[in-house]
Chains A and B, each alone.
Chain A
């Protein structure tokens, strides 16, 4: 209920004003990456990425197409494991535990680090089942009542419940693009993750749906560590507290979003922000 009220409040503000200049550096560090490299077959896609990602803040990865930002994002929940021929080097730690530890259970890791994809990809099931799927496979609900609660609260957190409460049993694929993407966010939230990775979540959406998702991201950061890949610098400026600029498989620079956009250290970053490369 709070979330719905909060959402109403948010929509009354302009999206720009949601950029809250918190000092993200004061937040504890959740994710630590050191010298991460990725090879696809013989081709090297990432050259030694090192970055710290703070707790309960939005970190955005920007950069031109093919710069490796999505590749790095997919390293964080080991989605690259599902790609043939991909090889990841270096270390990524979540709360100090190496996620590439051979003893670590990938399935559990992905429950802790949820993901939202570029194209809304609801399963061809009902809205309810889409959200309930994650909790079901991880055994999070003891009863039907538990499950109902998880589904409703996840849909609320994703700001979708009011729109779909009367048609939870209709297929998720029947929703609009923006609603589908929020359904995917609800689906990710339902598992109870600590980190949510978003891979260009608005690139397939119209401006209004994009604004709604951006507001949602801003709300979600109170409870989740969020990493978002975006090709829109405006979006990075609007939703993130920290920004990392990638170019040709290298992390050029990262820091507080405001600093990156107003006072970048590297010329490449400045060129990209001014629209000279990309």
Chain B
């Protein structure tokens, strides 16, 4: 409700400001003999931006500090003798109860009289502060509106000013993406460092045993956190996935870009890309229910002992999942190879397949390798298929027919359930996440580097 009122207020302000800037600008055209620098819509936008900014700043400040002020107010409402008897956790709980009461949702258990009093006071406090904040925003916005409107003259460079604001807005948006990444990496790093205070990095990166679950923090024993079994499992599944996805995806791309009739291509390409839209959990139970038993039976038929949940099962299904990724990217890259190059080969009397093998693929190779690397980084980070189909057996072994565990699965295992978030059992997830992040980051940088080099060749 409150947000609706605020949004409405801002919209009205925006509309009024735009309209007033616009109409004033129209007035300029008729009255002044001077050439008007900007068109009316820029003057409208100029005033609108001026009006909106102070309002947004005030609302933003309230959003930032409002919670603290409210909490202080509530603490002030609790009787002093009750307050002194509460430890921080209980105080937080009481404040939450009062907030719930004030919002009208009610609380579990009996409502104590002081809680009810505080809730009533809070309700009126919230009402008043809301009015004050919205009012202040509206007044500031209005004042800014009139100020901006008074600044409009024929030579005002509203167009350039609007351009600058657009520029800043765009910059802010890309800033959000970058800052988020930095924030995530920073939190991964700090938590991972906390983990390494329990377990030495040497033990983590070079340990061959993964067994974090048998101990608890109370006994002082940490369990064993060797990364290698998980890394081996991840690599094994990734390799199997790429063995499936690369040939199939590449052949599909070659067929679609070089052989398929345009009408077939128009149908087939979206269908292949739909594969990419299937949720990975669906692939996961497809692996568990269909592919795993099939591979086990197949293994029995040809005399191999293949477990239903194994690196093979997870790898094969993950490969199927990545096919559209590989084929779609490779298709784009093959189409980027200039037509003149193909013509050159045809003009020499090369057949279609000779042209593809000797000219098209070598020319597209760097780009295709880049596509493969991007696919690998997807495979490395894939979770759901592995959770369901790989069998979760963190043991270092080289047999793809046996169950394995991967880094991603272990993160899931360590963070689910009721483990202590301060202990190494949970913190190891951050170290694993960091490892995963570094692996995929390196792959992506390498892939982008290769793709970029390929582009330069033809432009």
Contact = CB atoms under 8 A, between A and B. Distances in A.
A133 B347 contact: no
Contacts of B457: 124, 173
B349 A121 contact: no
A212 B287 CA distance: 65
A116 B348 CA distance: 9
Contacts of B358: 123, 133, 137
B363 A123 contact: yes
A116 B344 CA distance: 8
B350 A137 contact: yes
A119 B349 contact: no
Interface string B348-388: 11110010001100110000000000000000000000000
Contacts of A122: 344
A247 interface: no
Interface stretch (B65-73, B82-90, B193-201, B335-343): B335-343
A227 interface: no
B261 to A, nearest CB: 8
B209 interface: no
A138 B349 contact: yes
B346 interface: yes
Nearest to A110: B349
Contacts of B350: 107, 133-134, 137
A118 B359 CA distance: 18
B357 to A, nearest CB: 10
Contacts of A117: 340, 343-344, 347
Interface in A116-141: 116-119, 121-125, 133-134, 137-138
Given A117-B340, A121-B340, A133-B358, A110 B347 contact: yes
A123 B349 contact: no
Contacts of B348: 110-111, 114, 133-134, 137, 187-188, 191
B345 interface: yes
A121 B262 contact: no
A23 interface: no
A151 B28 CA distance: 76
A137 B354 contact: yes
A159 B451 CA distance: 36
Contact of B347 (A108, A114, A125, A138): A114
Contacts of B262: 84
A132 to B, nearest CB: 11
Contact of B362 (A107, A109, A125, A184): A125
A110 B340 CA distance: 16
Nearest to B261: A84
A124 B363 contact: yes
Contacts of A116: 347
A119 B347 contact: no
A184 B338 CA distance: 16
Interface string B135-154: 00000000000000000000
Contacts of A137: 348-351, 354, 358
B344 A121 contact: yes
Contacts of A220: none
A166 B350 CA distance: 28
Contacts of A124: 341, 362-363, 457
A77 interface: yes
A188 B347 contact: yes
A263 interface: no
B307 to A, nearest CB: 46
Given A123-B363, A124-B362, A107 B351 contact: yes
A100 to B, nearest CB: 16
Nearest to B347: A115
A185 to B, nearest CB: 12
Contact of A82 (B343, B349, B362, B363): B343
A77 B347 contact: yes
Interface in A72-86: 77, 79, 82, 84
A111 B350 CA distance: 9
A1 B277 CA distance: 64
Interface of A: 77, 79, 82, 84, 106-111, 114-119, 121-125, 133-134, 137-138, 173, 184, 187-188, 191
Given A77-B347, A191-B349, 7 more contacts: A106-B349, A111-B348, A114-B348, A117-B344, A121-B338, A122-B344, A123-B344
Instruction: Across the A-B interface, give the 4 residue pairs with the lowest CB-CB distance, nearest first.
Output: A115-B347, A110-B349, A111-B349, A121-B340
12 contacts: A79-B343, A79-B347, A107-B350, A107-B351, A108-B349, A111-B348, A116-B347, A119-B340, A124-B341, A137-B358, A173-B457, A188-B348
